[in-house]
Amino acid sequence: MDVHVTFGNKRVLRGASLAVVRGSLHVLLGPNGCGKSTLLRVLGRQLAPAAGSARTDGPISFVFQNPDHQIVMPTVAADVAFGLGRYTLPATAVRAQVAAALATVGLAAVAQRPTHTLSGGQRQRCAIAGALAQAPKVLLLDELTTFLDGGDQRGVLEAVRACVGGPDQVTALWVTHRLEELAYADAASFMDGGRVQVTGSPAEVAEHMRRLGARW
Amino acid sequence: MNSTRARLLCFAVTVGTSPARPAKEPLEARLLMSFLNLTSVPYSSYVPAPRTALHDVHAVIKQVWLLLLLLLLARASLGARFALAAATAALSAVALPPGLWRPQLRRLGGLAALLFVFTAIGADGVPPVLQPRSVPPGIEGLPGVSPAAGGYRYVILHLWLITVTRRSIALAVSAASLTFVALQSASLCLTTTPPEELAGALRTLLAPAGLLGSPVADIGLTLLLSLRFMALVFDEARNLALGLAARGVAWSQLGPGGSLQIAMRLIARLFANLMLRSESIAVAMTARGFAGPAAHVVHPMGDRPSSPLANAAALALLAGVAACIWSFS
């Protein structure tokens, strides 16, 4: 609520306020430099705001734009299990968590493959599986489809869509530039100038952006 | 229409029969293109399929094999060294897919051959300037040394400046076989073992050092991250090389000094990019809950445990090879 973030003399967030419905996929749109990723980092507790506060369910998992930075283990299954390394868990529980996460994103068949042999979309889905294995309540997803082609983009969106809601009421906040991704959202917001300008249904946000001159 | 076709035909004939040979590319351009033509990391990474008997051997046993092979090579006779190198090459051909072992053995064989030739020529070919090679005046007038029985000759070949001796041949075989076996056996181990298991095996073997305060967990994690990001370093270098090739640099006009300057800038840029990536990776690791190697468990997620039969066979073979070399050395 009313989050302010300043980098040096530059005010990146100027009172950004956002409420996301639990168990929904919420898309956050906006032009370059409007503060979308900064707001995500505040919500992920990677950045302390200068003023205002952020309140989310927990645990939170963050998925970054470039999967090459997020995937730290040489093979797929071991990477998905990496986030569980901080807990003291029996091997059977780890295997079950990893298998479930890989099945959700459709990568069960490549569990033993070296990560550097995956395609861009598969790598991004592997990063999502790594986040899911930690059984998060909130998924923060930062421009996952920037480097992907149409097919991989759909695969990643469908993987995220499959994780949202369910008995655990997983919530996902998806930052993107691609307007067509609104079709997968339950709700959306449009940011500009360090503030959330509009929040509503995907159709309402799309209409607002059309009025601003956006086309797709 | 007909005139256009005739012109095209004339052009095709001219192109097809042109006697002009293309100008030879400068060395820098050829090096750049040969790097860009590499399709994968020059050194090996894990290959899960097809699964071979080597995949079923425990990672600790493979690392013991690697260590003992080097020790045995140091003690083996020339013939045994050559036999060990040949056995490593044969095992690679059996265990790895042809698309993998052929280029590997070609490159490594070339390197070993080069090492052999240069060591054979250079080890005894240049006499030390300060050491007198002529007979001391005090013993002049003695009868000449009679030829050795059985045709023994220390100097095997002497041709103008090139001198090859028994000592240089022994040294060349040692250097070439040691290089070949060390690199190819490590490559076999890397291609048939998941990196997480290799790091786990290293931690197991170094555990006694941990009692003395060595940072065993840090060493294991460093190995694991090195194996993971080797491909990333290669990709980063390749992207920079691709950018350079796309600019169409006139290497012949730059000369050696200019080429060296570009190479140094490229290396500096590569390190800067890798540092940036390292920072991003560190942020992502922290976001995933990593709080240091000692506080973090790496779960090996291999789908098949090692086979007791394969482990026993590998240990028995190692004992047999060691016994042979020990008794014949």
Amino acid symbol at A20:
V
Residue B117 in domain? yes
CB pair distance less than 8 Å for A113 and B48: yes
Instruction: From A45, A59, A92, select the one nearest A168 (Cα to Cα).
Output: A59
Best mutation target among A73, A94, A117 (most B Cβ atoms within 10 Å) is A73
Cα–Cα nearest to A126, from A144, A109, A105, A143: A105
Give me the numbers of helices (H) and strands (E) for chain A, helices first please: 7, 8
Residues of A whose CB is below 8 A from B44? none
Which two structure tokens, joined as six digits, stand for B307? 């086979």
Query: CA-to-CA distance for B205 and B68, rounded, in angstroms?
Result: 14
Instruction: For chain A, say whether B281 makes contact (Cβ under 8 Å).
Output: yes
Looking up tokens 């009313």, which residue turns up?
A2
Q: Is the pLDDT of residue B1 over 80?
A: no
Instruction: Name the B residues in 226-255 with CB < 8 Å from any A CB.
Output: 227-228, 231-232
For B300, the closest of A44, A78, A111 (CB atoms) is A78
Domain with B120, as residue range(s), is 52-125+154-191+306-329
**What digits encode the pLDDT tens for the residues B112-155?**
999 999 998 887 766 655 566 666 666 666 666 676 777 778 88
Query: E-assigned strands of A75-170?
Result: 138-142
CA gap A67, A124 in Å, rounded: 5
Nearest to A178 by CA among A137, A127, A141: A141
Q: Which among B281, B296, B303 is the nearest to A112, CB-wise?
A: B303
Whether B228 sits inside 8 A of A82 (CB atoms) is no
Within-domain flag for B110: yes
Q: For chain A, say whether B304 makes contact (Cβ under 8 Å).
A: no
Question: Per the domain annotation, does B131 fall within a domain?
Answer: no
pLDDT reported for residue A25: 92
3-state helix, strand, coil in chain A (%, to 5): 40, 20, 40
Contact residues, chain B, for A142 at CB < 8 Å: none
Please tell me which residue of chain B has the smallest CA distance to A64: B284
Q: Given an 8 Å threshold on Cβ–Cβ distance, is B227 in contact with A66? A: no
Residue B26 covered by a domain: no
pLDDT for the residue numbered B137: 63
Q: What confidence category does residue B9 fall into, taking pLDDT thresholds of 50, 70 and 90?
A: very low
The answer to the question of residue B92 being in a domain is yes
**CA–CA separation, A113 vs B79, rounded Å?**
40
Cβ atoms B59, B193 nearer than 8 A: yes
* Distance in Å from the first CA to the final CA of chain B: 83
Stretch 134-153 of chain B: residues touching chain A, C-beta under 8 Å: none
ipTM for this prediction: 0.81
By percentage, how much of chain B surpasses pLDDT 70?
84
Q: Is A193 exposed, middle or buried (0-12, 13-18, 19+ CB in 10 A)?
A: middle
With CB atoms and an 8 Å threshold, state whether A86 touches B296: yes
**Using a CB-CB distance cutoff of 8 angstroms, which residues of chain A are in contact with residue B295?**
86
Rg (CA), chain B: 28
A103 class by beta-carbon count within 10 Å (0-12 exposed, 13-18 middle, 19+ buried):
middle
Q: Residue with structure tokens 């990063």?
A: A127
User: Tens of pLDDT along B235-289?
Assistant: 888 888 888 888 877 888 888 888 889 889 999 999 999 999 899 899 889 888 8
Residues 112-131 of A with CB under 8 A from B: 112-116, 130-131
Angle between helices B308-328 and B78-95 (to 10 degrees): 160
- Is residue B41 one of the residues assigned to a domain? no
Q: Is position B241 within any domain?
A: no
Q: Which residue ranges form the domains of chain A, and what is each CATH number?
A: 1-58+167-216 (3.40.50.300)
**B227, B198 contact by CB (below 8 A):** yes
Please give, rounded to a whole number of angstroms, the shortest distance from the CA of A185 to a CA of chain B. 25
Among the listed ranges A41-45, A180-184, B11-15, B59-63, which one has the minimum average pLDDT value? B11-15
Q: How confident is the model at residue B13 (pLDDT cuts 50, 70, 90)?
A: very low
- pLDDT tens per residue across all 216 residues of chain A: 677 877 777 888 888 888 889 999 999 998 888 888 888 888 888 888 888 888 888 888 888 888 888 899 989 999 999 989 888 889 899 999 999 899 888 889 999 898 888 888 899 889 989 988 888 899 999 888 887 778 788 888 888 888 888 888 889 999 988 888 888 899 999 998 888 888 999 999 888 888 887 765
Q: Chain A contacts of B283, Cβ < 8 Å?
A: 46, 64, 69
Mutate to test the interface with B, among A37, A41, A61, A69 (most CBs of B within 10 A): A69
Q: What one-character-per-residue DSSP string does B22-46 give?
A: PPPPPHHHHHHHHHHT--S-SS---
For residue B234, tell me if it sits in a domain.
Answer: no
Do the Cβ atoms of A74 and B196 come within 8 Å?
yes
The residue whose two tokens read 């493959």 is A113
Taking each helix axis from N to C end, the angle separating B59-75 and B166-192, rounded to the nearest 10 degrees, works out to 180
pLDDT at B59: 92
Nearest CA-CA distance, residue B285 and chain A, Å:
7
